[in-house]
Structure 1
């Protein structure tokens, strides 16, 4: 895929094509990811993932709006998701961010590790990987699950932005948590 892709091109691609594209992209710098980024699911690998995605993020009672990030110390950052619920923005699902090898191709990706914080996404071992498509446009591959196989089921999404400033940190860190190969298969003890 040599041509430059726009945000309108990504929804036309299959999950397989999105993974191929992802493998050819570079990770954004940690300090580049600062603010809120409009978020939307892309093609899912199967009907079950599509249904779960709809329930989790497209549900009209609590619609996913953004992922947000801020750099912390040059090695890590923090973030959260926002949802529109009852006419107001609600922050949920905090995450630790860092650059680490992708579970899909071993190349660097901007990683969102939810298990660092107490939350439903952390309990489900959710990890998202993000790479840059072009200025203000990012392709993400979400994963979650309790087995290695489940955690290799790609769930693509797109981020655009930043569209708003970072609202502030949320969440309680998980006691005694250390990143392991469950979160980042190519590394441990990060």
Structure 2
């Protein structure tokens, strides 16, 4: 996978600096369509995150598909096939980072553990790219934002 220009700069940032960047961004009015995922952040996180997702049932995570009604689904790459797994809901709501609006992605209770305890927050990085921060609602990871990008497929 080719690294996007946005990721080249973001991969030089510390994990904590993503919250400071997130605060400067605006919420998209809505998210709709297919978005390709890209891991960003320190090298250790870009190495650990894809492997950790395999352990949590989202191995091969490559994006999200959002419908106009706020429903969505995660996209997983398995060989030459895209699998749709683990439904989500997205809605405009206050961010846990700064209380300002962002698109909040939640995982309904139909998803296996730990996904109902995970929240993704999205803000607009540029016209086609969202900066996402993943938070766990419990445990030691509750205050640690795990960054990623979503690039809109056009």
For Structure 1 versus Structure 2, the TM-score category normalised by the shorter chain is: 0.7 to 0.9
SS in 1 for 2:35: strand
Q: Answer yes or no: is 1:154 the counterpart of 2:145.
A: yes
**Counterpart of 1:21?**
21
Q: Render the CA deviation track for 1:104-125: whole Å, top value 9, x for unaligned.
A: 11111100011x2411266551
**Counterpart of 1:96?**
89
- Indicate the structure (1 or 2) with the bigger Cα radius of gyration: 1
Q: Which runs of 5+ in 1 are unaligned?
A: 164-190
**Counterpart of 1:40?**
38
**Distance (whole Å) between structure 1 residues aligned to residue 145 and residue 128 of structure 2:** 22
Counterpart contact for 1:36–1:68, Cα < 8 Å:
yes
CA RMSD in angstroms comes to 2.8
SS in 2 for 1:8: helix
**Distance (whole Å) between structure 1 residues aligned to residue 10 and residue 39 of structure 2:** 10
TM-score normalized by the length of structure 2: 0.81
User: Which deviates more from structure 2 when the two are superposed, residues 118-127 or residues 102-111?
Assistant: 118-127
Once the two structures are TM-superposed, the CA of residue 87 in structure 1 deviates from its matched residue by: 2.5
**Counterpart of 1:80?**
73
Counterpart contact for 1:7–1:137, Cα < 8 Å:
no
Deviant stretches of 4+, over 6 Å: none
Counterpart contact for 2:109–2:116, Cα < 8 Å:
no
**Counterpart of 2:102?**
109
Q: Which runs of 5+ in 2 are unaligned?
A: none
Once the two structures are TM-superposed, the CA of residue 100 in structure 1 deviates from its matched residue by: 0.7
TM-score normalized by the length of structure 1: 0.67
User: Which deviates more from structure 2 when the two are superposed, residues 98-107 or residues 150-159?
Assistant: 150-159
